[in-house]
Amino acid sequence: MAAGMGDAIPHWAGGLPADAPPRPGTAKYGEMMKQRERERLEPKAKDSSTTQSADGHAMAPAK
């Protein structure tokens, strides 16, 4: 009984937030994992020859 109680309790009272991932073993969990796998297998977008550093400055690729 306690395993599913977090689903019924509001987030402000210590329950799961609305954007929490679904629990393993549920249909929604299977759908989420399939979507993650599809996204993982998609080719990445081509990056330009320079990249942005954390502070926003352009950096040339290492040679």
What length does the chain have? 63
Percent of the chain with pLDDT strictly greater than 90:
25
| Helix (H), strand (E), coil (C) string for the chain | CHHHHHHHCCHHHCCCCCCCCCCCCCHHHHHHHHHHHHHHHCCCCCCCCCEECCCCCEECCCC
The pTM assigned to this predicted structure is: 0.48
For residue range 4-55, what is the model confidence (pLDDT) as tens digits? Answer: 665 678 878 888 888 888 889 989 999 999 999 999 998 887 655 556 666 6
Regarding predicted confidence, which is higher, 30 or 61?
Answer: 30
